[in-house]
Amino acid sequence: MLEVKGLCKYFGGIKAVDDCSFRAEAGRITALIGPNGAGKTTAFNCISRTMTPTKGEVWFDGERIDGMRPHKITARGLSRTFQISRNLADMTVLENVICQSKIRGWRDLMKPAMSKEEIDKALGILDFLGITRIAHEDGSNLSYGQKKLMDLAALLMSDPKIILLDEPAGGVNPTLLEEIIGHIRKLNEQGLTVLIVEHNMELIMRLSHRVVVMAQGTVIADGTPDEVREDPKVLDAYLGGALEEAA
């Protein structure tokens, strides 16, 4: 569903992403991992076009998207979260979710700000994530974990084919972590493709079908969790004991 070919992003003489290539297969959960500074989030930014690649190609669902504007990419079914929540603090959770609804044409701009159809859909998503109780809570009053769930809800409002999750478990407590894992699994079982950046190796090894490892801006390993776990380059040079502990 998603293919990255020779992706590069340079900042002057710094090669944040350098000749990076990998695939995220339809209906699967693919993890993008690596040490700090490996270029994972920069790769995400280039894929979603919140950052312009220096060179390389990004193909989504048979169409090249690296030259498209971000809203066009979202309209085609690729949506992402960020490490830090980008919610609108002066709006409720329900409003934050609904504002991610698809706009299908200029006539939609003439409709009410929140249609009954949109409200029902948003409440259904919040119910799926178990956070209906905070639907009318101001976004600024949420805990860090609640903001993570709200971001996921907003993502689903756009009817994506693939979701890119940038550290969805970062900074959340163990109980909420299990909830997030469960939600991602259920979404994948329903046919949603997932590409995830995450430092929690235990989560990655439990959740992913395939793991892509980046270091110094490029891919150094690509395989199943078991294959990556046993790769000497990954264990010795980049992740050290983290994968051994997860095993």
For the stretch 47-99, pLDDT in tens is 999 999 999 999 999 999 999 999 899 989 999 988 777 666 678 999 889 88
Query: How far apart, in Å, do the first and last CA atoms of the chain sit?
Result: 29
Residues 6+ apart with CB under 8 A from 101: 118, 121, 157, 158
**Number of Cα atoms under 13 Å in the Cβ half of residue 167:** 13
pLDDT value at 45 more than 80: yes
Strands, E, within the chain: which ranges?
2-11, 14-24, 29-33, 55-60, 63-64, 78-80, 162-166, 193-197, 210-215, 218-223
pLDDT at 236: 66
CATH topology for 2-85+160-246 is Rossmann fold (3.40.50)
Give the global pTM.
0.86
Query: CB–CB of 210/235 below 8 Å?
Result: no
Residues 6+ apart with CB under 8 A from 31: 195, 196, 197, 198, 204, 207, 208, 210, 211, 212
For the stretch 237-247, pLDDT in tens is 555 544 555 45
H runs (alpha helix) in 69-115: 70-75, 93-98
Query: CB–CB of 78/2 below 8 Å?
Result: yes
Q: ∠96-184-229 over CA atoms, to 5°?
A: 135
For the stretch 140-160, pLDDT in tens is 888 888 888 999 999 999 899
